[in-house]
Amino acid sequence: MAILDDIKETLTKTTKSAVDKGKKLTDVTKLKSQKSSAKKELTQIYVELGKAYYEKYKDAPAEEDAENFEKISAAEEKIADLEAQIRAIKGITICPACGEENAVGKKFCGGCGAPLE
């Protein structure tokens, strides 16, 4: 029954090959996921480092950093302006003392009681 043995051996090899391919695919997927997480962590570290550097040197940036510092400053101003536009549309004013959101027209802050303009 050499033919049956040959068929059995071929099926065993084929099955083993498919299992190996499946395992490799699973391993690669796991490693890609770990790589993605490591990249996100690295990006977060760069962001934190960049923010810390900016905060430390924003008042006296090195000449080679001046352009990027100006871009950061402009982006921060744009965000503040957009937030102000959103507050205006929503009819909200921010308490200068505590930062609480209050309805426009209120005389005192609902959070801390400070007078509102």
Residues that bind Zn ion (CB under 5 A): 95, 97-98, 100, 109, 111-112, 114
Distance from the Cα of residue 97 to its chain's centroid? 30
| Distance in Å, CB of 113 to Zn ion, minimum | 7
Query: Least distance in Å: CB of 108 to Zn ion?
Result: 8
Given the complex with Zn ion, which of 65 and 100 has the nearer CB atom? 100
The type of residue at 61 is P
Q: Which is nearer to Zn ion, 61 or 93 (CB)?
A: 93
Q: Is residue 112 a contact partner of residue 100, using CB atoms and an 8 Å limit?
A: yes
* DSSP three-state, residue 108: strand
